[in-house]
Chain A
Amino acid sequence: MVNIENLHKKFGKNQVLSGLDLTINEGGIFAVLGPNGSGKTTLIKSILGMVIPNKGEINVLGESIKKNSNYRHKIDYLPQIANFPSNLKVKELIKMIKDLRKNTNEDLRLIELFKLEPFLDKKLGTLSGGTKQKVNIVLTFMFDSPLIILDEPTTGLDPISLIRLKDLIQAEKAKGKTILITSHIMSFVEEVSDEIVFLLEGKIYFRGSISELKTKTNQPDFEHAIASILTDNHA
């Protein structure tokens, strides 16, 4: 599905990714974890072609992403901070993104699911953080792409929307899609993910299931397992 080889990225003097190799197979939910500044977002943005790597090769669904924009038809991306043009209405934004990609009716179901009808005619600049995130989720999930990338999807969501989001993620997984998630909410990660990838200092420190991580670190629960990695590495 996604194949990354020897990925290097530097921002100025700051080496963020140093020789990262990662293969993500088709189907299932992968969580990318790591302390702040470990390169999670950089990794995701490299896959999306928003960050240009210094070195390395990325293939998505067998296509090299260099000088290519078509492969993004097969990716749905939920950005970390939902910043939309503030003078557009929610309705207009949804319509515009549909014009850019393809037409779909899935948005109606999602709007109803997240109870966004009252906000459709409001300008995006006037929405609260949580509501923006819901719009963000609608924009991401309304296309039926085989790869879904979610960067901190839970930010600002109320408990009921969080439950709906989890259901949505599970439903997409049931369709055989590949879902890539980053999050700092460990309980969320533990609940939804099949496999985790732990980044540390620009490299993959651990890859495997949560139970494997618990055995490796000798910790009874997931949160402490992650914490023990971080204290052992002085991160």
Chain B
Amino acid sequence: MRSRWSYVYFAFYLLLGIVLLFLNNDLSKAVITLMNVIIVLVPLIGTIFGVMYYYNSKEFTELLLAQPLKRSSIFLGQYLGVALSLSISLVLGLGIPFVFYGLFESSAIWDFSLLLVTGTFLTLIFTALAFNIALSNENKIKGFGYAILLWLFLAIIYDGLFLMTLIMFEDYPLDKLSLIGTMLNPIDLSRTLILLKLDISALLGYTGAVFKQFFGTSFGLIVSFVMLTVWVILPVLRIIFKSRNKDF
């Protein structure tokens, strides 16, 4: 699908990047602001685009299914089409203004690339999750509802519940539990990952502090990336499995 929405998305990031740089006049501060936007917005856009694309191209999918093509290649192709075009919009949209601003001479370049890498991971993860939801729900409205709920849960509610459990059981040693809790949510994980890299303790929540204490910066980075990769692979495997057994 030649979607004009991915251009809109690209333009949005372009604008966001430019505006942030002008208002902040400081690269690393702009990176922090961007992080807050990316952590919430990228999963939302990935979710919505994934679900929307699946339902919109349903007829086209049926056309392809009657052709001599493997089911897994049809669905993986669609998934990669959406996820990669969103990722490219993100990377180029944010990358261009920052490059013009003099990113390559700045020390923030590693923080910035980490931001783009996690943003890409989040796009891949949430588009895959959205495809899973869409594949399991014939009803468009239901599919949309579940997808948004999933986003809301992982982006906001999860943190709240997490914090509440930490407060409720504060007498116990919870370091391991909170660590696992962070690992199980890709949004939390990305946030922690970027904060660890940015090395700004003021912004580190309790989860971040635990992380830092446990891993030290570089080991934590590797484990986090492994977790993010697992978060991509599992939903993608389910797309393959689910599409193989679905009726059209």
Contacts and interface: CB of A to CB of B under 8 A. Distances in A.
Contact of A85 (B59, B71, B248): B59
Interface of B: 1-2, 57, 59-60, 62-71, 245-248
Contact of A79 (B63, B245, B246): B63
B68 A52 contact: no
Contacts of A70: 68
Nearest to A73: B68
Contacts of A85: 1, 57, 59-60
A101 B68 contact: yes
Interface in A58-101: 69-73, 75, 77, 79, 83-85, 87, 97, 100-101
Given A69-B70, A87-B2, A50 B60 contact: no
Nearest to A139: B63
Contacts of A179: none
A1 B108 CA distance: 66
Given A79-B62, A85-B1, A85-B59, A72 B247 contact: no
Interface residues of A, number: 22
Contacts of B57: 85
A48 interface: yes
Interface string A18-32: 000000000000000
- Residue among B62, B65, B66, B71 with the most chain A CB within 10 A? B66
**Complex A-B, nearest 3 residue pairs according to Cβ-Cβ distance, in ascending order:** A83-B59, A72-B68, A77-B66
A45 interface: yes
Contact of B67 (A11, A45, A83, A101): A101
20 contacts: A11-B247, A48-B65, A50-B65, A50-B247, A50-B248, A52-B245, A69-B69, A70-B68, A72-B66, A72-B67, A72-B68, A73-B68, A79-B62, A79-B66, A83-B59, A83-B63, A84-B59, A85-B1, A85-B60, A100-B67
